[in-house]
Amino acid sequence: MTTRQLHLLRHARTTAPSGVLAGATDLALSHQGFLQAERLAARLPKGLPCLCSPMRRCRQTLEKLQDGGAVSEVHFDTRLREMDFGNWEMKTFAEITDNGADIEAWTEYVHFTFPGGESVDHFVGRVQGLLDELSTRSAGQLLLLTHGGVIRTLLCLSLGLDIKKYLLFNVLPASWSTVELHSDGGVLTALNR
């Protein structure tokens, strides 16, 4: 049985204020984020291929991983971009609900579309498409440098969980989680290393 081991890396801390939804906003890493990325590079296995979100915060994290020797080759994939929260971008949940938005609709999930942004169906579909593609590749290890929402979605999909369980996973900045993909499903072997 062939096994594909996916190391799901979340980018390091950004300049976004704490508690805001930052999806499609192309943020830079904070000073703390650059330090986190350096520490992450020191902990990772060395010389692995990497698929990376093209967003700035992931590219800046990637630079530190490359400096630390964790990455052998890189390919950018737009399917690894964070969800586009539309009009909710860079707002806290309190600000969103103060403006009369039905935040509970998001928790119902599957058919929700963020006002001016992406539908959950579309987001899950693009992440599922990537996972399907990765499941057919040869065995081995692969780094996926991406965002919290993408990692939560990959975890649900690879483990066979209902996508509504998405928020059960707290994916920390500059952490990595590992999933092994087998022919009969996925196994979570590490979370938030």
pLDDT tens readout for residues 25-50 = 999 999 999 999 999 999 999 999 99
Question: Mind listing the pLDDT tens digit for each residue in 61-95?
Answer: 999 999 999 999 999 999 999 999 999 999 998 89
CA distances from 148 to 97, 167, 181 (A): 22, 10, 20
Q: Is residue 57 very low, low, confident or very high in pLDDT (cuts 50, 70, 90)? A: very high
Residue 107 has a pLDDT of 65
Give me the percent of the chain exceeding a pLDDT of 90: 82
Question: 28 vs 66, 137, 146, CA distance in Å?
Answer: 17, 32, 14
Which candidate, 56, 188, 52, 66, places its Cα nearest to that of 130?
52
- Tens of pLDDT, residue by residue over 2-26, are 679 999 999 999 999 999 999 999 9
Domains of the chain from N-terminus onward: 4-190 (3.40.50.1240)
Query: What are the helix and strand counts (H, E) for the chain?
Result: 6, 6
* Range 159-168 average pLDDT: 91
CA dist 38 and 64 (Å) reads 6
Say how far apart CA 132 and CA 186 lie, in whole Å. 12
- Per the structure block, which two tokens stand in for 181? 């993909």
The predicted model gives 149-156 an average pLDDT of 98
Token couple for 88: 């909710």
Residue 71 and residue 46: Cα distance in Å, rounded?
6
Going from the C-alpha of 22 to that of each of 19, 88, 123, 140, 147, the distances in angstroms are 9, 9, 15, 32, 10
pTM metric for this prediction? 0.95
How far is Cα 171 from Cα 169, in angstroms, rounded to an integer?
6
CA distance 54 to 109: 26
Question: d(Cα 43, Cα 153) in Å, to the nearest integer?
Answer: 24
| β-sheet bridge partners, residue 182 | 185
